[in-house]
Each structure stands twice: as structure tokens, then as C-alpha cells.
Amino acid sequence: MKVKPKIALVVTTLNEEKNIGDFLTSVKKQSLSPDEFVVVDGGSIDKTVEKLKTSGLDIKIYIEPGANRAVGRNSGVKKTKSEIIAFADAGCILEKTWLRQITKPFVDPEVAVVAGYYRAKTKNVFEKCVTPFALVMPDKINPKKFLPASRSMAIRKKTFKETKGFPENGPDNEDYVFARRLKKMRVKITFNEKAVVSWLPRDNLQSFFVMIYRFARGDAAFGFRILKVTTIFLRYLFFLSLLMISVAFSEFTWYFLGFFLVYLLWAVLKNYRYVKDWQAFFWLPILQVTSDLAVMMGTIKGVLGKLNLEER
């Protein structure tokens, strides 16, 4: 009789007092309990660790001040004895069957990684508008190309060791870099749409900007999404050129306004179906411009940071 492989759930935390309670409750409600539950805290100064200790769950808690997410995950995996490692984010809520579904495909010995899905748990129109800027929407999923994200994924420990873990020098998109590494290794990645976690979107414009900025900075540092970012720079170079011409020749002012208004309308049309609320006509254009600025600024910072590292 074949022995069922043991499963470890590895999570990192840092000042998650606000969300950790809901996350731990969702772990308790899992239809399949992990054999090991490891949490690596990066030095929380709120009540995160206290809530972990009083959760009633059998959690192995390790405090590693200053550890980023990649360092924490890598450290957490080293502390496990299980054959299968499941990753989730403390800011998410696991669906009741998540752990069962995220590990189910491993019955096939060829499967090395399982990518689960994530959907937004929104409270208002603003958060609904943020969602398509941050997640892969259901109608855009290609199961054959869907890459795993750390908020909902599982991997064989053997494969994890072969990858040498998450890149610890990555700024903010370490799981995307990790996923690209897995793809390059040509290991078998299976997408299971039933392995779902609920993700909590950013709830204000400032935190949204910071999120996009950090992703763009990381992409630039690793040379990802170059074509997409280039089109954004060219887009605003066109608007800027048209604006300068409008200042010099007033008759061109309407051209500038017309093109820019069409752009804002495009921002609404491409994402309105995910919101379906009149307030989207206000928030989607604002989020589009905010996202564009964050991408450009983050890209510049990422490129400069990469150049500085290369000079050392």
C-alpha cells in the first residue's frame, strides 16, 4: 500500500495583525489538515505573533527579524520534513477545500508544481476596480500558461531544492521570478482552478500605487515585461509631445484632449465588465493613470538599482 506523502503549509508574516485572524480561521476549517504548519515571522511589532500562539493550531513559529518573504519561505521549507510544500499568504483566506485541491494533482508522479487560483474578496467599488489591475481575471486564464503565485501554490520538496528556492535578492516579485525559473526548468506545472484563496485588494489609492510600483521595480530589476512597459512609456511620450504642441499651437489642444479622453474611456471599457457599477467610470481612469505612473517610476528605480548592483 502506497504511503500518502506528508504535507507542510509554509507561511510568512510581518505585521499581519489585521488579517491573520481570518487566515488562521480558514486554516482551521480546511477539509484536509496539513501535517506541518510552519510560520516564519519577519519581526512583527504588532500582535501577529501573539495571535499565532493563541490560535489553537499546532504552529511551528520562527522569528527571523528582517527576513523578507523569500528568505522566510526558504527558511520555512528547510524546517519541514514533508514531501509536499504548500504556500499561501497570511493576507488571504483559504477556501475550505484549498489544501485538498492544491495537493490533489500530486497523485500523478510527474506533477512537480500545482498552481491554484486566487480571487478578490472585495468590500466596495474601489476594491472591485483595483482587482483587474492586480489579478488574472477568470476570463483571461490559460491553464497551460498559468504560472503559480505564492498565495496559492504547492510544490514537491525535491523540486523546490532543485530550484534553490525563492530568489532572496528580489525586491517584491520573488514568486514571479521563482515561477519563471520553474518554467525554464520545464518541470510539470498543473493548474487547479478549484484550489482557491480569497485575496484582499488594496483599499486606497496610495497603497495601490505602492503595490504596482514595487511590482514594476522588481520586473525591471529582472528584465521582465519589457515590451509592455515600453508601450506605456511610448504612450505618455506621445501625450507629452501632443501637449507641448498644443501649448505652442492652441488649435492642437483639442487633439490632445481628444486622445487623452479616448485613453481614459478605454481604461473603463476594458475593465467595466468586472465591476458593473457607475462609479467605475470615475475610479477606473484614475487607477489606470495611477498604475501607469507607478509602472514608469518603478521601472526607472528598478533599472537604476540594477545598474548600481552591476557597478559594484
Q: Among residues of the chain, what percentage have pLDDT more than 90?
A: 84
Mark whether 159 and 55 lie in a shared domain: yes
Q: Please state the rounded mean pLDDT for residues 141-148.
A: 93
The runs of H, that is alpha helices, within 120-225 are 125-134, 157-163, 174-185, 205-222
Mark whether 67 and 194 lie in a shared domain: yes
Domain termination residue (choose one: 178, 199, 220): 199
Cβ atoms within 10 Å, residue 18: 12
Q: Identify any residues that bridge with 191 across adjacent strands, giving them in sequence order.
A: 115
How far apart are the C-alpha atoms of 134 and 127, rounded to whole Å?
10
How far apart are the C-alpha atoms of 271 and 278, rounded to whole Å?
12
Strand duo 152-156 + 7-13: pairing: unpaired
Mark whether 112 and 174 lie in a shared domain: yes
Domain termination residue (choose one: 139, 165, 199): 199
Domain termination residue (choose one: 199, 218, 243): 199
**Over 70: is that where the pLDDT of 310 sits?**
no
Q: What is the pLDDT of residue 57?
A: 97
How far apart are the C-alpha atoms of 14 and 113, rounded to whole Å?
26
Mark whether 177 and 304 lie in a shared domain: no
Q: What is the pLDDT of residue 170?
A: 62
**Over 50: is that where the pLDDT of 312 sits?**
no
How far apart are the C-alpha atoms of 86 and 75, rounded to whole Å?
14
What is the crossing angle of helices 280-311 and 226-248, to 10°? 110
**Over 60: is that where the pLDDT of 1 sits?**
no
Q: Please state the rounded mean pLDDT for residues 229-246.
A: 94
Domain assignment of residue 2, yes or no: no
Higher pLDDT, 148 or 309: 148
Q: What is the CATH number of the domain that holds 95?
A: 3.90.550.10
**Over 50: is that where the pLDDT of 97 sits?**
yes
Residue 117 φ then ψ, to 5°:
-105, 170
Residue range 4-50, pLDDT digits in tens: 899 999 999 999 999 999 999 999 999 999 999 999 999 999 999 99
Q: Identify any residues that bridge with 188 across adjacent strands, giving them in sequence order.
A: 111
Q: What is the pLDDT of residue 249?
A: 86
Q: What is the pTM of this model?
A: 0.89
Residue range 256-306, pLDDT digits in tens: 899 999 999 999 999 999 999 999 999 999 999 999 999 999 999 998 876
> How much of the chain is helix, strand and coil, in % rounded to 5?
55, 15, 30
Q: Please state the rounded mean pLDDT for residues 101-115.
A: 97
Q: What is the pLDDT of residue 4?
A: 85
In a 3-state reduction of DSSP, which class is residue 118? Answer: strand
Q: What is the pLDDT of residue 221?
A: 85
How far apart are the C-alpha atoms of 33 and 24, rounded to whole Å?
12
Number of residues that this document lists for the chain: 312
Q: Please state the rounded mean pLDDT for residues 78-88.
A: 97
Mean pLDDT of the chain: 93
What is the total count of domains within the chain? 2
How far apart are the C-alpha atoms of 82 and 222, rounded to whole Å?
31
Q: Please state the rounded mean pLDDT for residues 45-63.
A: 97
Task: Supply the range of the domain harboring residue 98.
Answer: 7-199
Q: Residue 55, by phi and psi: left (phi above 0), alpha (psi -120 to 50) or beta?
A: alpha
Higher pLDDT, 306 or 57: 57
In a 3-state reduction of DSSP, which class is residue 37? Answer: strand
Q: What is the pLDDT of residue 308?
A: 53
Mark whether 178 and 283 lie in a shared domain: no
Mark whether 214 and 285 lie in a shared domain: yes
Q: What is the pLDDT of residue 55?
A: 96
Q: Among residues of the chain, what percentage have pLDDT more than 70?
A: 96
Higher pLDDT, 3 or 10: 10
Q: Please state the rounded mean pLDDT for residues 243-259.
A: 87
Mark whether 217 and 242 lie in a shared domain: yes
